[in-house]
Structure 1
């Protein structure tokens, strides 16, 4: 007896509120862009340049005392944040001390790091420093460029692949859905000021790959059903295709989320931003595969007979049923 999270045959009307869901997605994209441009991202040390010192102590973290101890060093912009994690014990008190790259220096010098550690030990003799990460401003600038190019190249390559495999309407739908996923993730990171670093870029690329996989699976079924049901309206074919792949979508997304939620709760603060980005991306990517990518194709229309040359793609069913 096989486990089924959804019935073998379903007939949910996914496109009943297609105008509302698509409109909500477009509004969410605009709001994410506004938040990103107005609030900005909380860049990690990878993109900002400088040094991050991780502290650990058996005593409670006193951010004010830490800041007062470092003030005589004249280090410029110093950020001190206490790290909370349910996996920490009662005697594990962790903080992150971020120091900007000093003028004229590629990174914070070892002497400066030693001075910071000595100053903090005056406040709390039990304090230890498990890790120290340094990135120069020149390197961080190159990392920003490389990150933007990596995401852009992935989107262009995917658009070209979908165009070759299906039609240009499908290509546009897939890329708009990917922009939707990436933009909403960035907007969420900006809104809650979650640390944005190279691990987050890796998470964004993972989201792009996962989302396009789900989209292509449904696109394949749409293409098969367009040939099989030549007289059925495009919206009904789309709806049928989503229903037929629903079990696969729920099983794939559900099992992935189980592992991600376990990592989110028990994985520790070091990987929390990365895991949170992928978790959010799985949810929004599954949503966009239906309510963004398929809506775009539904609005643009597509040809019915895939065995014939594409002379008027997008015009045969350019006016789908509402």
Structure 2
């Protein structure tokens, strides 16, 4: 009997379809816009709203890692829209989610039969070559990072950590920010040239249930992005929805630090009909831009991260990202 897909495996199948539909045949829209001398980045919030609806549709608690994973999938999708190589941005849009570009190029160049054999070995045993999450060595300790651009010949070029909080604001908000501050120092001290970012997903109910806590947290996030030796950019995604999320009230979990045990890959089939049904029934999600200060807007964050990677790299690298930025459409 085939294995029943876990909540995370089902979520991945729906995430992958949303992203694939947004980029038919792998062709992404160009996010860059130009108005006079001003260059700006326009995120695809339509895709983000769909991705954020998946954990609600699946009734997935934070312990599955699925709610935070929606942010990771969107950020990696946006980096591909910016023109960075699909295999160089992790999580990738297909299994394995983490795999160096050299291995992806090797697989692409193999005959189909040989490729299938090597992919089978990758899925089963080669943890040092591919995986479901990325761990990066900082100055003092290894840290799992949610969205990564890295390869053997460059080392980390971009590192983004994400957190998601839908409830228990008073109990957990300070802890999440304090952890992120320490992680930033740890990673930045070993990888000073890498673009380092932090994205915080927060349910908008905090604005009415705990307005003082919301004010304090938003201010703290803004300050987190002004340290010279910490994050280059910080973003706040204010998530607004009516349905009650399936929450684990006493514990918040990162997408890569899920309490649900991960194999290297979960080899299961999620039926196409199940994905179609999910897409037709995704709940309505809104993004509250009006409550987020300019310094924490996702558009500014994505522009800062993409520009930093491009600007500190040799002109021979990231050619498609450079071309897309140079060919920005007039707004």
User: TM-score band, normalised by the shorter chain?
Assistant: under 0.3
Structure number with the higher helix fraction is 1
Under a length normalisation based on structure 1, what TM-score does the superposition of the two structures give? 0.22
Larger Rg: 1
Structure number with the higher strand fraction is 2
